[in-house]
Amino acid sequence: MKVALAGQGAFGIKHLEAIQNIPGIEVVSLAGGRPAGTEEVAKKWKIPHWTTDLTETLKQPGIEAVILASPTQVHAAQAIQCMQAGKHVLIEIPIADSIADSEEIYSVAQKTGVIAMGGHVRRFNPSHQWVHNKVVAGELKLQQMDVQTYFFRRTNMNAAGQARTWTDHLLWHHACHTVDLFQWQTGELPSVANAVEGPHHPDLKIAMDMSIQLKAPKSGTILTLSLSFNNDAPQGSFFRYIGDTGTYKAYYDDLSDGKDKVIDLSKVDVSMNGIELEDREFFAAIKEKREPKSSVRECLEAMRTLDRLEKSLNASK
Q: Which of 215, 235, 241, 219 is nearest to 147 (CA)?
A: 241
pLDDT per position as a tens digit, 227-266: 999 999 999 999 999 999 999 999 999 999 999 999 999 9
pLDDT per position as a tens digit, 28-56: 999 999 999 999 999 999 999 999 999 99
Element (H, E) at 100: helix 99-112
Band (pLDDT 50/70/90 cuts) for residue 204 is: confident
Alpha-carbon distance 31 to 29, whole Å?
7
Contact by Cβ (8 Å): 243, 133: no
pTM attached to this predicted model: 0.95
pLDDT per position as a tens digit, 11-35: 999 999 999 999 999 999 999 999 9
Q: Where are the domains of the chain?
A: 2-120+275-295, 122-269+303-315
pLDDT per position as a tens digit, 186-199: 999 999 999 999 99
Alpha-carbon distance 177 to 299, whole Å?
10
Contact by Cβ (8 Å): 303, 94: yes
- Residue 30's alpha-carbon distances to 41, 86, 160, 301, in angstroms, are 8, 18, 18, 31
Predicted confidence (pLDDT) at residue 94 exceeds the cutoff of 60: yes
Band (pLDDT 50/70/90 cuts) for residue 124 is: very high
Predicted pLDDT at 235: 94
Superfamily name and number for 122-269+303-315? Dihydrodipicolinate Reductase; domain 2 (3.30.360.10)
Element (H, E) at 247: strand 247-251
Mention the CATH class of domain 2-120+275-295.
Answer: alpha beta
Predicted confidence (pLDDT) at residue 220 exceeds the cutoff of 60: yes
Predicted pLDDT at 164: 62
Predicted confidence (pLDDT) at residue 161 exceeds the cutoff of 70: no
- Residue 97's alpha-carbon distances to 73, 172, 211, 307, in angstroms, are 7, 6, 18, 9
